[in-house]
Structure 1
């Protein structure tokens, strides 16, 4: 009996060590994939915004009345910028990432390989970059970088808390998801009301909700890995890492956008 207990303890300890090592590698992949996606988004947004403005007034785009379409002093929309920001194409740019997220990514997760899912995630990040490029036409570059750094620091702290805390955060999930649904409804209503007070409240609530989701999603990614690690399905693990990266990517991106309302300097 003593020998059996000793062998059982040894086996359990070896399995636990293997799961711990696998978890660290899994989380590194999650954060690495998310970081690459965020870099693609940032570069895409910056590049598109740069292509959309020019300091040459003679090359600037004009509206239907022939007036030059200025962005700020010394910078004007190019024909490319006018195509993106002032034509129906802007709705394609705005909604294409959402359509892919709700309809395309799920199909990839169930039918495609892990490599294809990763390519899909990076393509989604590029689409988000195009969609976000307009912030460079509204806010100063310095305030965008400043807000990004503040978001990065807050995200790192919240994600670390979600990873290390012994407190079960699963009970927050339903509350946070319902909060996001309510927030989307309020944002839709405010499209028609255009209320500054409501915009301020939406931004504040949005920051809090996605701060909570950052900690919740981090713990959920960790718990999901631990629950399935013993099965040894590497393909599933690789897809789970990309799915986790997408969740944290969206948390970071939304927190950044809501913080930008408070910290961004409009030009």
Structure 2
């Protein structure tokens, strides 16, 4: 009987740890999304920022060197946060995540210039609904999604390579193929990453605030990337261009 109640207490404690961890993850992910959205909106209406991001050419606007710098900075920040998380303090990880959100917001500026604000809003809510459903599935399912996650990660690498190639090829059919495949990949990764973070939450304690914050930020970054990429893919399909 004591073992029964003891095991029950352990299960309850693990459940409480998961709920605490995931609530912080979703909270910081939301902060990052809001910050990116505000930055992208402001940059789209600011002539000064637009001059930094784009070059005026006879053929129209082209991506500036500063935009390429932002792209490289984004990749660098993701690698630092994901690869060096154990070496960072909680406050430093949070600061880097906020910087990443601002940088990514600047990189999203072309979306606010290319699509109507009403379609951006509608696709955002569609994405939020899909994300919530997929994340709930990943959180609640008893099925181990590890094998699915590995397959989807390989597909993600393929999309990244194809995207780099298409910068030079400028193939519209390839772009659309990557878009539809990307929706499938990031939808699956949302469920897989949620399950992975749930498992992390079972084994992490909030007693050490520094370690707890580090892994909260890592989780927030992971789900942030899933949400943003799913949003971009759906916007290409469903969005109304200006």
* Fold similarity call, TM over 0.5: yes
1:89 is the counterpart of 2:84: no
1:39 to 34, 39, 42: 34
1:242 is the counterpart of 2:217: yes
Structure 2 SS opposite 1:266: coil
State whether residues 213 and 251 of structure 1, in contact with CA within 8 Å, keep that contact through their aligned partners in structure 2.
yes
Residue equivalent to 1:110: 86
- Superposed CA RMSD in Å reads 1.8
1:8 is the counterpart of 2:10: no
State whether residues 163 and 215 of structure 1, in contact with CA within 8 Å, keep that contact through their aligned partners in structure 2.
yes
Q: How many residues align?
A: 234
State whether residues 114 and 239 of structure 1, in contact with CA within 8 Å, keep that contact through their aligned partners in structure 2.
yes
State whether residues 17 and 205 of structure 2, in contact with CA within 8 Å, keep that contact through their aligned partners in structure 1.
no
Structure 1 SS opposite 2:142: coil
Structure 2 SS opposite 1:134: helix
State whether residues 108 and 117 of structure 1, in contact with CA within 8 Å, keep that contact through their aligned partners in structure 2.
no
**Aligned-pair CA distance for 1:263:** 1.1
**Aligned-pair CA distance for 1:46:** 0.4
**Whole-Å separation in 1 of the counterparts to 2:128 and 2:206:** 34
Residue equivalent to 1:101: 78
Residue equivalent to 1:188: 164
**Aligned-pair CA distance for 1:108:** 5.4
Structure 2 gaps of 5+ residues are: 56-63
**Whole-Å separation in 1 of the counterparts to 2:26 and 2:49:** 34
State whether residues 149 and 188 of structure 2, in contact with CA within 8 Å, keep that contact through their aligned partners in structure 1.
no
1:51 to 26, 46, 52: 46
Residue equivalent to 2:179: 203
Residue equivalent to 2:58: none
State whether residues 27 and 222 of structure 1, in contact with CA within 8 Å, keep that contact through their aligned partners in structure 2.
yes
Structure 1 gaps of 5+ residues are: 1-5, 53-78
**Whole-Å separation in 2 of the counterparts to 1:145 and 1:255:** 14
Residue equivalent to 2:61: none
State whether residues 32 and 97 of structure 2, in contact with CA within 8 Å, keep that contact through their aligned partners in structure 1.
yes
1:146 is the counterpart of 2:122: yes
State whether residues 189 and 226 of structure 2, in contact with CA within 8 Å, keep that contact through their aligned partners in structure 1.
yes
**Aligned-pair CA distance for 1:40:** 0.4
**Whole-Å separation in 2 of the counterparts to 1:258 and 1:137:** 16
Worse overlay, 106-115 or 242-251: 106-115
